[in-house]
Structure formats: structure tokens, C-alpha cells
Amino acid sequence: MSKKDARVDAYIRKAAPFAQPILQHLRSVAHAASPEIEEAMKWGFPHFMHKGMLCGTTPPRRRWASSAGSPRSRNFRRRKY
């Protein structure tokens, strides 16, 4: 079952009016992807996790920013040039 965080609710309520439906949509898409998605506030912004960081978003100001990752991304080995 999806685990929702009340701090994410508060973050969405405090967001700019134009951003609230976007944040709600991103949240519903993340939870629709898997019943095991968990949400948390990290670095002051909502993030969605499943066996590690899945995606997150930053506050909209002049432009929107979001990040997406894979649970395997933390095992990435850097190339040496």
C-alpha cells in the first residue's frame, strides 16, 4: 500500500496556485505506478521512493525542475578517462 506523508500535503497546500494541480498530478502518477511507492520530504521537497530514490520535484519559480532516478543509479560506477 502506498505510504503518504502529511508533510507532502502541507507542501502542496503552500505551493503557488498554478503549481498545486501539477504537484497533485505528479503525486497521483507516482502512486499509480506502484502500490509500494513511499513519499517523503527530502531537502525540503517531495520525493517518491521505491527501493531507493525514484523521483522528486523542486519548487516552481522561474522554471520547473524535477529529478528521476533508478534504484540501481546509486550503484553507478564512474568511468575513468
Contact predicate 43/32, CB 8 Å:
no
User: What is the rounded average pLDDT for all residues in the chain?
Assistant: 77
Q: Span 56-65, mean pLDDT?
A: 65
Domain ranges of the chain: 6-74
66 vs 20: which has the higher pLDDT:
20
pLDDT band at 63 (very low <50, low <70, confident <90, very high): low
| pTM, entire model | 0.69
**pLDDT > 90: what percent of the chain?**
17
DSSP per-residue string spanning 18-59:
TTHHHHHHHHHHHHHH-TT-EEEEETTEEEEESSSEEEEE--
Residue 38 forms beta bridges with which residues? 3, 49
Task: Assign a CATH topology to domain 6-74.
Answer: Aspartate Aminotransferase, domain 1 (3.90.1150)
What is the gyration radius of the CA atoms in the chain, in angstroms?
14
Q: Span 33-39, mean pLDDT?
A: 87
